[in-house]
Amino acid sequence: MRIFDPHVHMTSRTTDDYESMAAVGVTALVEPAFWLGQPRTSVGSFVDYFDSLIGWERFRAAQFGIRHHCALALNPKEANDPRCAEVVDLLPRYLAKDGVVAVGEVGYDSMTPEEDDAFARQLELAVAHHLPALVHTPHRDKHAGTLRTLDVVRESGLPPERVVVDHLNEVTVRAVKDSGCWAGFSIYPDTKMDERRMVAILREYGTERVLVNSAADWGRSDPLKTYRTGRAMLDAGFDQSDVDAVLWHNPVAFYGQSGRLVLDGPEAPSTFAGNSILRGTPAGGGGS
Ligand SMILES: [Zn+2]
């Protein structure tokens, strides 16, 4: 199986995760910018985070043969914090960089006026930078939130084929499919969406314009959920080419619209700014 995880927060994961992802066939991924689990207190905190997503984390993934790309944005939750408002002004210089293949995660958390503003402004940035957008749907009030999300996308002028609306379920998939946007599904270990329900959705709606991700982060999550969904598809009678379409061709086609995907090329460097992921060895001076 070859796998491209289109949404996974590797910053929150260990090298063991990289190792087991590589072992089951994950060779590329996109890490969207998101909330840290506690509020950031200044714009500078985002600067360091964005720099690590285009630098250190990309280097770390490469040590396991995994191509790391990212999506950058002010996340929906922190769009409500006035201390973070200026992050949107910072984005244009980051959206021009290598390895940045989308604007995201943007969208709604609690559907406040501040979120409306940040969402619309960041979709404008996606239009201006010819990038796709990764749009998060709220975990509460999901159906209403998804319909409102689709309205904002329509008004933005960003073509629907450049938008993935993520964290969908049985209730929200139809409206997103009808809109022409890509349908994203985050497969979780307990609640929300699991691989068995995902297989049922693929049976009903087909494999086109569907992205399956692990959305693994600092919470209870599993970075092998893409692989497990592929296994569940095979067990349910889908063939290898269907699995390859969902777990590889679809994310490549979606993020390929950025013109910035790198899926081959030279091997990874062994150090990043003089530091390696090794420790206690001559090459490993930088860790702690
Ligand atoms: Zn996420």
Name the residue range of residue 216's domain.
Answer: 3-256
Distance CA 140, CA 174 (A): 18
CA 21 from centre of chain? 16
Q: How far is the CA of 49 from the centre of ligand 1 (A)?
A: 15
Q: How far is the CA of 183 from the centre of ligand 1 (A)?
A: 15
Contact 144, 162 (CB under 8 A): no
Q: How far is the CA of 284 from the centre of ligand 1 (A)?
A: 31
pLDDT in tens, 88-107: 999 999 999 999 999 999 99
Q: How far is the CA of 167 from the centre of ligand 1 (A)?
A: 9
Q: How far is the CA of 69 from the centre of ligand 1 (A)?
A: 14
Average pLDDT, integer, range 206-225: 97
Q: How far is the CA of 57 from the centre of ligand 1 (A)?
A: 16
- List b or e across 104-119, with b for residues whose CB sees 16 or more CB atoms inside 10 angstroms: bbbbbbebeebbeebb
Q: How far is the CA of 105 from the centre of ligand 1 (A)?
A: 7
The answer to whether residue 274 sits within a structural domain is no
Give residue 272's pLDDT: 75
Residue 171 pLDDT > 90 = yes
Confidence grade of residue 271 (pLDDT, cut at 50, 70, 90): confident
Give residue 276's pLDDT: 76
Q: How far is the CA of 166 from the centre of ligand 1 (A)?
A: 9
Give residue 237's pLDDT: 97
Distance CA 31, CA 23 (A): 19
- Output the six-digit token pair for 222: 């599993």
Q: How far is the CA of 192 from the centre of ligand 1 (A)?
A: 14
Phi, psi angle pair for 9, to nearest 5°: -100, 80
The answer to whether residue 267 sits within a structural domain is no
Q: How far is the CA of 214 from the centre of ligand 1 (A)?
A: 9
Identify which has the larger pLDDT, 139 or 153.
Answer: 153
Residue 189 pLDDT > 50 = yes
- 160-169, 192-201, 234-243, 278-287 — which is least confidently predicted? 278-287
Q: How far is the CA of 37 from the centre of ligand 1 (A)?
A: 11
Distance CA 4, CA 244 (A): 10
The answer to whether residue 263 sits within a structural domain is no
pLDDT in tens, 45-70: 999 999 999 999 999 999 999 999 99
C-beta pairs of 146-153 under 8 Å, 24+ apart in sequence: 146/172, 146/175, 146/176, 147/175, 148/108, 148/111, 149/107, 149/108, 150/175, 150/176, 150/179, 150/181, 152/116, 152/119, 152/120, 152/123, 153/123, 153/179, 153/181
Q: How far is the CA of 286 from the centre of ligand 1 (A)?
A: 29
Q: How far is the CA of 285 from the centre of ligand 1 (A)?
A: 32
Give residue 91's pLDDT: 98
The answer to whether residue 224 sits within a structural domain is yes
Q: How far is the CA of 8 from the centre of ligand 1 (A)?
A: 6
pLDDT in tens, 237-250: 999 999 999 999 99
The answer to whether residue 192 sits within a structural domain is yes
Please enumerate in sequence order all residues whose Cβ is within 8 A of that of 4, keeping only pairs 6 or more positions apart, or say none. Answer: 26, 27, 28, 29, 30, 247, 248, 251, 252
pLDDT in tens, 71-80: 999 999 999 9
Q: How far is the CA of 104 from the centre of ligand 1 (A)?
A: 9
Q: What percent of the chain has pLDDT over 90?
A: 88
Contact 78, 40 (CB under 8 A): yes
Q: How far is the CA of 73 from the centre of ligand 1 (A)?
A: 12
Domain count of the chain? 1
Give residue 266's pLDDT: 61
Q: CATH no. for residue 166?
A: 3.20.20.140
Q: How far is the CA of 213 from the centre of ligand 1 (A)?
A: 9
Q: How far is the CA of 135 from the centre of ligand 1 (A)?
A: 10
Q: What percent of the chain has pLDDT over 70?
A: 95
- Output the six-digit token pair for 288: 């702690």
Work out the mean pLDDT of the chain and round it to a whole number: 93
Distance CA 161, CA 219 (A): 30
Q: How far is the CA of 235 from the centre of ligand 1 (A)?
A: 28
Residue 284 pLDDT > 50 = no
Give residue 139's pLDDT: 81
Distance CA 13, CA 152 (A): 33
- Output the six-digit token pair for 156: 């933005």
CA 2 from centre of chain? 18
The answer to whether residue 67 sits within a structural domain is yes
Residue 281 pLDDT > 60 = no
Residue 114 pLDDT > 60 = yes
The answer to whether residue 266 sits within a structural domain is no
Residue 151 pLDDT > 90 = yes
The answer to whether residue 270 sits within a structural domain is no
Average pLDDT, integer, range 139-163: 95
Q: How far is the CA of 245 from the centre of ligand 1 (A)?
A: 22
Confidence grade of residue 265 (pLDDT, cut at 50, 70, 90): low
Give residue 83's pLDDT: 96
